[in-house]
Amino acid sequence: MKKAVINRAYFERCLLFLCGEGKIGNIGFKSSELDTVFLPLYKTQEGDKFAVCFDLASGLGGKALPAASFELIFDGEVDFLFDEEKDFSDNGGVYKIGLISDELGVTLFSTYEPTKVSVKQKIGEMGLKAIFKTADILPKNGRRVLFTSQSRKELSGNEKFVFDEILRRDELRDRLKIKFSLSDKGGAKFLIRTAWLLGRSDTVILDDYHPIVYLFKYKKGVKIAQLWHACGAFKTFGYSRLGKEGAPRFDGKAHRCYTHAFVSGDEVRKYYAEAFGVPMERVYATGVPRCDNLKNEETKRDKFTVLFAPTFRGNGAKSAHYPYDKLDFDRLYEVCKRNNMKIIFKMHPFIKEKPPITENQADVFEDMSESREINDLLPRCDLVITDYSSVVYEAALLNKSMLFFTFDLDEYVSSRDFYEPFEAFVPGKIVTEFDGLISALENKDFESEKVKKFREKNFISDEKSASERVVDVLFGE
């Protein structure tokens, strides 16, 4: 294979790609101002073509690049001209990355001014760190396990499946000492308890964003395991959203401490590494534990049942909403009556406003948004109507038909974006107007043939359950 020649460079989200021809060997960026070499997140080689991906948000020892210049070092030649800057500034902080190529080589540079933290926040963090350090002084014994969540007050979802798998194994059940710190509100008492238990634990298991976990420096050998509540990698999240409204701070600590992140399949490992700001070797393709018992109900339904499960609009829990005015409930009711259909509404937990269902529509429409686990509802349906929700993965596992009602697709791409082009990715029919939604329901036109290929691409398959694989990785077979 011929000598490597880089002939293209481009930015994508928080990533920098260098592409070319030949066999790619060692490559990285080195700065005279730093001791560490900026190494790729991953490299791909397909025949004579290669691509090298650098994670700008987390590629330097799990941190964003500081203010410095970096010279490209690799075994090959450069044959491109490039002069572009990417702006990731947010929340008053300044963070810009630039790449320049000329006859002298390729230079990567960054401009960095950290975001200011309030005095009140600093004092609160100092108190929690003192509690953690006191607990952390005591020696570790490898046996203490903490299940914790700041979004659930009871053990459920992925955490419950992993806990149950531990209990099924006599040796683990007898050896491990398991504690819980769970809350859906937080508060001082919860934070103090969690800080202490984090300092005492050898293994920490969580399945969602958990701010207090990111405050501390953990001893070598402590495992911080993120199960994450969503399947696959659909819409961007975490550091993949840098530069967009609602994204984490570019100099933030969120997610970076994970020693283990568990995902649905090999195809999405790179996306989770990017989103969490961790090396790919910390991301494990095990499947999703809460999907282990996901099976269709065998009882025959007297109506064609639709699960309406869109994601929220807004930047988080405080601003979350869904524009119900995009649905004509009276017309939708008539179509369902005419075609012997029923619709179950499962709105995102962040959305507090209930669907405007009238009393005389209750025979067709049912609001079950209070049900925490959507997996309890999926087996009962024939069709899932969604938009940008990761429910597509669970629905695909159950071979459910899907319909994507995306009236604001362009706006959503601009503000949130996806890891892959939406139109090519989703396993079902896309409609952008309410009339198209009605037509698809009337004709049962869902493009269901796309589901099988999607499922095969995004999930691993063998005799073990995802819960077994996760426990094997964390505690040994």
pLDDT in the model for residue 298: 67
Could you identify the residue written with the tokens 């596992």? Answer: 397
Pick the CATH number of 4-113 from 3.20.20, 2.40.50, 3.30.930, 2.60.40: 2.60.40
- The pTM of this model reads 0.86
Percent of the chain past pLDDT 90, that is, above it, reads 68
pLDDT in the model for residue 65: 85
Neighbouring C-beta atoms of residue 247, cutoff 10 Å: 22
Task: Report the CATH architecture of 119-287+464-475.
Answer: 3-Layer(aba) Sandwich (3.40)
Strand order through the sheet with 304-308: 365-367, 341-345, 304-308, 383-386, 401-405, 429-431
* Per-residue burial over 199-236, b = 16 or more CB atoms within 10 Å of its CB, e = otherwise: bbbbbbbbbbbbebbbbbebeeebbbbbbbbbbbbbbb
Domain ranges of the chain: 4-113, 119-287+464-475, 304-458
pLDDT in the model for residue 204: 98
3-state DSSP call for residue 318? coil
How far is 189 from 206, CA to CA, in rounded Å? 19
How far is 95 from 58, CA to CA, in rounded Å? 13
Strand order through the sheet with 283-285: 177-182, 144-149, 203-206, 223-226, 260-263, 283-285
pLDDT in the model for residue 16: 94
> For 116-125, what is each residue's pLDDT tens digit?
788 888 899 9
Domain 304-458 sits in CATH 3.40.50.12500: no
> Over 70: is that where the pLDDT of 477 sits?
no
How far is 166 from 176, CA to CA, in rounded Å? 9
Neighbouring C-beta atoms of residue 7, cutoff 10 Å: 13
> Over 60: is that where the pLDDT of 1 sits?
no
- Residue 182 phi, psi (nearest 5): -130, 140
Q: Evaluate the CA torsion angle 43, 476, 294, 164 in order and state its sign.
A: negative
> Over 90: is that where the pLDDT of 475 sits?
yes
> What residue type is 363 in one-letter code?
D
How far is 17 from 53, CA to CA, in rounded Å? 5
Closest to 349 in 3D by CA, of 320, 376, 377, 328: 320
3-state DSSP call for residue 217? coil
Closest to 236 in 3D by CA, of 219, 249, 222, 248: 248
**Whether the domain at 119-287+464-475 and the domain at 304-458 fall into the same CATH topology:** yes
pLDDT in the model for residue 295: 80
> Over 90: is that where the pLDDT of 245 sits?
no
- Most distant CA atoms of the chain, gap in Å: 74
Give the pLDDT band of residue 92 (cuts 50, 70, 90). low
pLDDT in the model for residue 91: 63
How far is 452 from 294, CA to CA, in rounded Å? 16
> Over 70: is that where the pLDDT of 402 sits?
yes
How far is 454 from 361, CA to CA, in rounded Å? 35
pLDDT in the model for residue 388: 92
> Over 80: is that where the pLDDT of 169 sits?
yes
Could you identify the residue written with the tokens 């999930």? Answer: 459
3-state DSSP call for residue 117? coil
Q: Distance between alpha carbon 71 and the CA centroid of its chain, in Å?
A: 32
> What residue type is 447 in one-letter code?
E
- Residue 124 phi, psi (nearest 5): -60, -45
Mean pLDDT (the chain, rounded) = 91
> Over 70: is that where the pLDDT of 56 sits?
yes
pLDDT in the model for residue 138: 87
